[in-house]
Amino acid sequence: MSTTNKEIGPPVIELGAMGWLRKNLFSNWYNSSLTIFGLYLLYILIPPLVNWIFLDANFVGSTRDDCTSEGACWIFIQQNIKLIFYGLYPTEELWRINFVYLILFISGVYLLIPNLKHKGWVGAFLLIIFPIICVIMLSGGLGLEAVETRLWGGLFLTLVIAGVGIVLSLPIGVMLALGRRSKLPVVSILCTIFIEIWRGVPLITVLFMASNMFPLFMPEGVNFDKLIRALIGVMFFSAAYLAEVVRGGLQAMPKGQYEASQAVGLTYWRMMALVILPQSLKMVIPAIIGSFIAIFKDTTLVLVIGLFDFLGIIQFVGTNPDWLGFSHEGYVFAAAVFWVFCYAMSWYSQRLEKKLDTGR
């Protein structure tokens, strides 16, 4: 028996590149025609795009007159790069933003390298001390010249709104989710009402309310910064969505996990923090990151209340008479940058899922 079995290998047709092609792309007539149609689509789309973006594009020069060839005019982006990245932030103070980026970059890289010690401390620094540094560095104080938030703009503003929204909305969302599942009816009803109100209103309405209605309710002379109002709006909006995502995770937890935690004597908050949330948040990582990505892209709506985020400022520089007619370049550039950030989040979420997988 065993001697004859050795002679039988897998069918040859399944092996090698030809086998793979046959199995996956040409297994039957409609599969084959779809493959050929797909290749044809790529053929008519890709070469012109590559030509426009790279091969025929203009990279060197300083005015629109230098854009002589047929492709994209990247000089437009290059000449306006400071506006696009930093808004109207004073040029001599730009180092403050870059300094903040640098700290963020270094700590981020540190956290991404596997098996380094003291990651907990770096994380705590990012969550507690870094925000304080940001406020002082970016808006001024401690001898630094104040920079009003109406001068903030571009990619920098987008990152501030998305960053604050993402970092603050997760803990608020978790609390709302726990509150909604609370056994105390008052807590549960209040959380439910809060969640449903914010989820029932479009973000654009939230931003309008924050910008135009809110001051009407405040006493004369009290003036909240417009950016802070927008941040609060984005934060609660995102928190309401996250609350429902987290609640889904909580509902998927087997009852036995609660019982085992109670049986060993853990109190409610410890049970949640040590047993239930680590597992249920892990289950909903894809949906949480989905919400984060949505919020990142939704920050573009702040344009309607007169804040010039990344996309807003690109549209704005496109209206400059010196650069009329280059909106294509602007949008393609904006799309590429948005894609990089969103894909980075997506990549990180997949990495995190793999890392946290304990084979359940």
φ and ψ at residue 359, rounded to 5 degrees: 75, 30
CB nearer to other proteins: give 228 or 274: 274
Residue number, 174 or 303, with CB nearest to other proteins: 174
CA separation for the pair 161, 226 (Å, rounded): 12
Report in angstroms how near the CB of residue 246 gets to other proteins at its nearest.
16
Q: Please give, one letter per residue, the 3-state secondary structure of 55-83.
A: HCCECCCCCHHHCCCCCCECHHHHHCHHH
Q: CB of residue 262 vs other proteins: minimum separation in angstroms?
A: 6
- Residues 6 or more apart from 16 whose CB is under 8 A from it? none
Decide whether 63 or 267 has the Cβ nearer to other proteins: 267
First-to-final CA distance of the chain: 38
CB of 244 to other proteins, least distance (A): 22
3-state secondary structure of 132: helix
Please name which of 217, 236, 198, 230 lies closest in space to residue 304, comparing C-alpha atoms. 230
Nearer to other proteins by C-beta: 27 or 267? 267
Q: Are 356 and 281 contacting, i.e. CB atoms less than 8 angstroms apart?
A: no
CB of 274 to other proteins, least distance (A): 6
Task: Give 225 or 259: the residue with its C-beta nearer to other proteins.
Answer: 259
Q: Measured from the CB atom, is 10 or 185 closer to other proteins?
A: 185
Give the span between the Cα atoms of 319 and 112, in whole angstroms: 41
Tokens of 189: 């009803």
**Nearest approach, Cβ of 176 to other proteins (angstroms)?**
23
Are residues 122 and 107 in contact, defined by beta-carbon separation less than 8 angstroms?
yes
Output the smallest distance, CB 351 to other proteins, in A.
17
What's the min distance (Å) between Cβ of 174 and other proteins?
A: 16
Q: Which residues bind other proteins (CB under 8 A)?
A: 254, 256-257, 259-267, 270, 274-275, 278-279, 282, 356, 358-360
Nearer to other proteins by Cβ, of 3 and 115: the residue is 115
**Which residue bears the tokens 């493959």?**
35
Report the C-alpha gap between 334 and 326 in whole angstroms.
13
